[in-house]
Every structure is written in structure tokens, then in C-alpha cells.
Structure 1
Amino acid sequence: MYFSKALVLAFAASALAMPTQDTKPQKRAGVLTATTYDNFQVSDGVAGNALAEVNANFPIDQNDLAGVDANDLAIILAARVTAEDAETGTGGFNDAIDAAGSSTTAGKALQVGKIKNKVLKLQLEVLGLQIQQAQTGEDNSDKIAAEQTKLNTNIKLDEAAAGQTSQSIDFSGNDDPSN
């Protein structure tokens, strides 16, 4: 069987025109917008689904962490700091629980909210470390494992309290990386 030169050239041209697989991670446009703690906190409502609530507020494609936008990473890191401040800082959950009394109805709802806030803080910590590792190649495995253990503990506490009232705090803070 003989192929004409035109047919061979057509096959060659189509092969050259085919897309090639690029092994470099593709950066995606940012999906997060800086906002106040009140808008990204997950402590209101009821317990039982804190991790899903966090992931809904921070919808990062966890299958392509190397492609996460730099500003999204900065927002995640800033939100983690704010969530920690909301737990332990002045006017945070610890102060609110002390003021309400841990055995009161209000104190118990605040304690449930604090656990949900810990899920927020720890999920953002793990996510930030994973993104940094994927983007820089820096080995964060030990840190990730330690924080994941804490996260898993708090997820279990949240799930065990499923349906219980959860109360947030009035806390001033944001996830704006420029602050």
C-alpha cells in the first residue's frame, strides 16, 4: 500500500497540532475574597458538620494544591491566624466561655462553637501547609501529620455533638492578607 506525500504530510501536521501534556502545575485564578471573621466563621448554628462548612467557605480544589492562587493561600493563612485569635485572644471564645460559665446553656453553646472554630483553624492550617508543600516542595509532612491529628480529634468532637446548638462570638478580625 502506498501513501501519497500529501497524506503523510497531513498526518504529520495533525500530530504536531495535537496538544501536549504540560507537566508544570497550572495556576488558577483566585476563588477567595478577603472578608471579616463574621463572614467566614462556622460557629453559628448546630454542631456536626463543621468540616463541610469550612470547606464550603474556603472552596479550594484540594486535588490540585500546586495550582492554588498565591492570594488564596495568603487569605487561608490570614484566616487561620484570625481563627486562632478568636479562640484564645482577648474577647475570644475562652473569654466568652469564662464569662458565661462553662456549665450554663450559653457556655455550653459557646464551647460547641469553640470546637467548630478549632475545626476551622486546624483545617486552614493543614490546607495551608499542604499548599505550601505542593508549591515549594518543602517537606511539611511532620507538621501536616501533627495538625491533622488535632483536626481529626476536633472533627470527632464536633460530630459527637451533632445537633447541639453552637454559638459564635462577636469577634473583630478578617482574613485580609494585607493587614
Structure 2
Amino acid sequence: MRFTLSLIAACAALVNAGVFTQKTFNDISISGGVAGNAQNEALAVFSALDTNNLANVDKDDLDFLNSVNKICNEAEKGAFNEAIDAASGEQADALQRGKIKNKILKLTATVLKLQAQAAQGQDVQDKLQKEQTKLNKNIQTDEDEAGKPSTALSFDATTN
């Protein structure tokens, strides 16, 4: 009997374990390629998450989503802003499109985290609405630049 209960508990822990593993910024970056499809590219990064069952998102996955936000912010400040300031013309424009795609990745992670927290009963509606508005604005900017080159930058950061 004791063995059976232990086995059931172990299986339950596996079912509730997080779906994400530690990744580097470069592993999850969507900044390269072309503009116009960043929303789908960002959603693909988080495709392991069951968005139909956000009430059961594991704390480790919430932490992962939060850390994606953090490293994308760091890349924006420590790589994209500096590179854009140093560039001009189409090079600067392509870097800016990469920065927008990075923002979409960051904000998608944040919105997913907040949606999961809301589904778990936390009062995050105001913050969720604010972040969703930012995400929508950046998605529109990306779509307005569809088909134009987007430059990715390497950045040394890792998720939790």
C-alpha cells in the first residue's frame, strides 16, 4: 500500500511538472529573419504550454515566462538599443524590426504568465490589460513592416 501511494504521488508530481527547460536568449530569440509574423513566432516558442488549461500552469513555468521577460528586457537595453544607436539607414531599421520582434516575445511571455495567474485566481486584470495593449501595439508595428529584413543580435543570458 505504501509503495502504491508513493508511486501515485510520483506520477502526480510528473504530471504537474513544468513544461519548459532552461534556455539561452539565443535559443528562444525570434528577432531574425523578416518582420510580419512575430506573433506566431513567439507563440511557437511557448507552444509546450497548454493554453487551454492555464489554471494548471506550474510555478516553474510561471518563473520561466517571467525570466523570458527579464532576459528580453536585458537584450533590448544591452544589445538592441546600443546597436540601433550606432547604426544608420536600413541597418538601423532592420535592427529596430528585430527589437520589435524581441518585444513581442517578451510581452507574449508576460501576457501568458498573467493569463495563467488570472486563471489561478490572482487579481492581475489591470496589469494584463496594460501588457496586452503593449503587445497589440508591437504586433501591429511588426505587421506594418511585413516582409522587411529583421536583424537578430546575440546576447548572453539564460532563463531560470
Q: Which has the higher contact order (CA 8 A, sep 6+)?
A: 2
Q: Which residue of 2 aligns with 1:99?
A: 86
Q: 2:59 matched to 1:70? A: yes
Task: Give % identity.
Answer: 48
- What TM-score do the two structures reach when normalised by structure 2? 0.86
Q: 2:157 matched to 1:173? A: yes
The 3-state SS of whatever aligns with 1:71 is helix
The 3-state SS of whatever aligns with 2:93 is helix
Q: Which residue of 2 aligns with 1:160?
A: 144
* Cα separation, 2, equivalents of 1:82 and 1:128: 15
The 3-state SS of whatever aligns with 1:169 is coil
Q: Which residue of 2 aligns with 1:32?
A: 20
Shift of residue 69, structure 1, vs aligned partner: 2.1
* Cα separation, 1, equivalents of 2:90 and 2:143: 19
Shift of residue 133, structure 1, vs aligned partner: 2.1
Query: What are the ranges of 5 or more consecutive residues in structure 2 without an aligned counterpart?
Result: 1-14
Give me the CA root mean square deviation.
Answer: 1.3
The 3-state SS of whatever aligns with 2:82 is helix
* Cα separation, 2, equivalents of 1:127 and 1:100: 33
The aligned amino acid for 1:67 is N
- What TM-score do the two structures reach when normalised by structure 1? 0.77
The 3-state SS of whatever aligns with 1:79 is helix
The aligned amino acid for 2:23 is T
Q: Aligned match of 1:82 in 71, 80, 101? A: 71
Q: Which residue of 1 aligns with 2:10?
A: none
Q: Deviations over 1:18-51 (max 9, x none)?
A: xxxxxxxxx6443211110001011010111111
The aligned length equals: 145
